[in-house]
Amino acid sequence: MTIAEKEIKKFETSNCDQDKVFYQAMEEVIYSIGPLLESDEKYTRYAILERLVVPDRIIKFKVVWLDDNQNIMVNTGYRVQFNNALGPYKGGLRFHPTVNEGILKFLGFEQILKNALTGLPIGGGKGGSDFNPKGKSDFEVMKFCSAFMTELHKYIGPRMDIPAGDIGVGSREIGYLFGEYKKITSTYEGVLTGKPYMFGGSFMRPEATGYGVVYFTETMLEIENQESLEGKICTVSGAGNVALHVIEKLLEIGAIPVTCSDSTGTIYDARGVDLALLKELKLEKRLSLEGYKLSHPEAEFMPAYEYLEDRHAVWDIPCYAAFPCATQNELSEMDAQNLISNGCVSVSEGANMPSTPDAIAAFLSHKICFAPAKAANAGGVAVSEFEMSQNASMTKWSFEKVDEKLKETMQQICTRVALTAKDYGVEGNYVDGSNIAGFKRVADAMIAEGI
Ligand code: NDP
């Protein structure tokens, strides 16, 4: 039995229903780092895996608020402070009805390695609530955010834990959360990132994750195939912060993104999606994508309910490069097979863990250039760290400076991942390259800091 197999066995009992996605993420990492564990016994001697897979603490609290009809509403809030070996806990807040402890543990665990890959001084954490902002008025969202921060403020701080956005948490929610933190603590400090620019936000934080995914993909394609995305057909899933900015950057560099999707269905517009219309529908009006057809009757709308759980319309469309940017496990093995047989060359994960393990195995065995989330979507957290730096030094960087540093960071991550994969005998495998490079950085810090 290999060391990786022995380590996996230790955690099998924790594979309860809620923890399934967490276990999925953990198993991938443990198998990936097998060669590192075999080559250096210190990681086993210092029990790094046992220590890394258990969060430092999980804070769980009740959030009580009043809706617009004066009904008392009750939700659950969480903050998972996972690991701070490299810096203060850092990771987003997700507001979505599916949020539970298991999902946040998976996201927090991934965040540790993602943050390590950036080379910046940030640890890993994640949080959120089962609150659904969809269909709520601005006042209701404000009241929920105030109630959520009433409890959360006790556990966060600019040197302790700095949350940001994720699904359901954009600059509106971050603004309300920041306002409440400021009121409670009477301090004006960089305790959250993703703030609107007018009060402490960085240029480019909204764009950072999506733009970063495209910068990473361009670098990976250059290294692996000496090709670029210019003039290539691309498919994108999702229609939120990450997806819209992937589409924006693809259009800017001359690629042709032809799809996007939301929880109601998929749009396929063969001439390239209309970004201005998408922003109006999803960001300004917060409507379903179905409305896209009113302005573009020639585009196709494929309703989500017509598809089985393990099939997604986006991945039926032939493309050169695919960008899953909606949510976890949204790209199944069957979707992967479709992409491969339709000639797809590259897959880059904008969302966290959007591809199932079987889908990833299919991509790797067919030598598809596959960019895993923890490397490809690290641009968001990198610019969050730039926001922390600007807040701490009371300065503002220009758009050009942030963009340049983001591009440089994504190119460095990509090169580091490619070289690590080569060093450990798995050239071209960016999954193993990312896991080994991220794990090594955190593990070495944990060893140096003692128990
Ligand atoms: P948003 O809330 O802005 O958008 C999410 C999009 O995905 C929406 O179009 C939403 O549809 C769709 N979606 C969400 N859940 C489901 C579901 N269960 N089934 C079908 N569609 C769904 O979130 P983000 O764009 O910020 O985040 C997307 C992904 O990227 C997540 O995995 C997140 O963790 C990851 N990520 C985000 C970062 C960021 O900076 N924002 C940083 C790194 C990773 P609808 O509009 O109908 O709700």
Residue 377 in contact with ligand 1 by CB distance below 6 A: yes
439 occurs within a structural domain: no
| Confidence bin at 13 (pLDDT 50/70/90) | low
288 occurs within a structural domain: yes
CA dihedral 389, 110, 373, 281 (to 10 degrees): -70
Nearest CA-CA partner of 92 in 51, 124, 52: 124
Q: Which of 110, 262, 307 to mutate to test the pocket of ligand 1 (most atoms within 8 A of CB)?
A: 262
Gap between the Cα atoms of 220 and 361, Å rounded: 19
Based on the fold, state whether residues 12 and 102 are members of the same structural domain.
yes
Distance 141 CA to ligand 1 centre (A): 18
Q: What is the pLDDT of residue 7?
A: 77
Q: What is the pLDDT of residue 309?
A: 74
Q: What is the pLDDT of residue 164?
A: 97
Distance 43 CA to ligand 1 centre (A): 35
Q: What is the pLDDT of residue 6?
A: 80
Based on the fold, state whether residues 161 and 217 are members of the same structural domain.
no
Distance 326 CA to ligand 1 centre (A): 4
Residue 380 in contact with ligand 1 by CB distance below 6 A: yes
445 occurs within a structural domain: no
Gap between the Cα atoms of 165 and 344, Å rounded: 31
Residue 415 near residue 219 (C-beta atoms within 8 A): yes
Residue 167 in contact with ligand 1 by CB distance below 6 A: yes
Domain stops at, among 310, 344, 371: 371
Based on the fold, state whether residues 104 and 28 are members of the same structural domain.
yes
Residue 402 has pLDDT above 90, yes or no: yes
Distance 2 CA to ligand 1 centre (A): 37
Q: How confident is the model over 67-110, as pLDDT tens digits?
A: 999 999 999 999 999 999 999 999 999 999 999 999 999 999 99
Strand order in the sheet with 369-371: 256-257, 233-236, 321-323, 346-348, 369-371
Nearest protein CA to atom 3 of ligand 1, as residue: 240
Residue 108 in contact with ligand 1 by CB distance below 6 A: no
Gap between the Cα atoms of 262 and 194, Å rounded: 22
Distance 167 CA to ligand 1 centre (A): 5
CB atoms within 10 A of CB 72: 8
Q: How confident is the model over 147-192, as pLDDT tens digits?
A: 999 999 999 999 999 999 999 999 999 999 999 999 999 999 999 9
Catalytic residues: 126
Distance 168 CA to ligand 1 centre (A): 7
433 occurs within a structural domain: no
Q: What is the pLDDT of residue 15?
A: 57
Q: What is the pLDDT of residue 311?
A: 85
Distance 11 CA to ligand 1 centre (A): 29
Q: Which of 327, 352, 383 to mutate to test the pocket of ligand 1 (most atoms within 8 A of CB)?
A: 327
User: The tokens of 339 are what?
Assistant: 């992409």
Q: What is the mean pLDDT of the chain?
A: 96
Gap between the Cα atoms of 425 and 89, Å rounded: 32
Residue 263 has pLDDT above 70, yes or no: yes
Gap between the Cα atoms of 286 and 269, Å rounded: 20
Q: Which of 99, 103, 241 to mutate to test the pocket of ligand 1 (most atoms within 8 A of CB)?
A: 241
Q: What is the CATH number of the domain that holds 249?
A: 3.40.50.720
Based on the fold, state whether residues 239 and 94 are members of the same structural domain.
no
Based on the fold, state whether residues 226 and 342 are members of the same structural domain.
yes
Q: What is the pLDDT of residue 1?
A: 82
Q: How confident is the model over 52-62, as pLDDT tens digits?
A: 999 999 999 99
Question: What's the whole-number mean pLDDT along residues 419-440?
Answer: 97
Residue 166 in contact with ligand 1 by CB distance below 6 A: yes
| Confidence bin at 232 (pLDDT 50/70/90) | very high
Query: What is the sign, positive or negative, of the torsion defined by CA atoms of 192, 197, 203, 207?
Result: positive
Based on the fold, state whether residues 129 and 269 are members of the same structural domain.
no
Based on the fold, state whether residues 176 and 266 are members of the same structural domain.
no
Q: What range defines the domain where residue 56 resides?
A: 3-188
Number of domains in the chain: 2
Residue 240 in contact with ligand 1 by CB distance below 6 A: yes
CB atoms within 10 A of CB 437: 26
Q: What is the pLDDT of residue 4?
A: 82
230 occurs within a structural domain: yes
378 occurs within a structural domain: no
Domain stops at, among 154, 188, 222: 188
| Confidence bin at 14 (pLDDT 50/70/90) | low
Based on the fold, state whether residues 127 and 46 are members of the same structural domain.
yes
Based on the fold, state whether residues 152 and 216 are members of the same structural domain.
no
Residue 355 in contact with ligand 1 by CB distance below 6 A: no
Based on the fold, state whether residues 136 and 249 are members of the same structural domain.
no
Q: Which amino acid appears at position 61 of this protein?
A: F
23 occurs within a structural domain: yes
Distance 434 CA to ligand 1 centre (A): 22
Residue 128 in contact with ligand 1 by CB distance below 6 A: no
Question: What's the whole-number mean pLDDT along residues 424-430?
Answer: 96
- pTM for the complete prediction? 0.94
Question: What's the whole-number mean pLDDT along residues 199-222?
Answer: 97
Domain stops at, among 320, 345, 371: 371
Q: What is the pLDDT of residue 12?
A: 64
Nearest protein CA to atom 13 of ligand 1, as residue: 326
Residue 127 in contact with ligand 1 by CB distance below 6 A: no
Based on the fold, state whether residues 71 and 169 are members of the same structural domain.
yes
Residue 262 in contact with ligand 1 by CB distance below 6 A: yes
Q: What is the pLDDT of residue 260?
A: 98
Q: How confident is the model over 301-358, as pLDDT tens digits?
A: 999 887 777 789 999 999 999 999 999 999 999 999 999 999 999 999 999 999 999 9
Residue scoring higher pLDDT (94 or 16): 94
Residue 290 has pLDDT above 80, yes or no: yes
412 occurs within a structural domain: no
Based on the fold, state whether residues 32 and 76 are members of the same structural domain.
yes
Q: What is the pLDDT of residue 338?
A: 97
Nearest protein CA to atom 4 of ligand 1, as residue: 240
CA distance readout (Å), 84 to 8, 108, 160, 408: 23, 11, 9, 25
Nearest protein CA to atom 43 of ligand 1, as residue: 377
Q: What is the CATH number of the domain that holds 133?
A: 3.40.50.10860
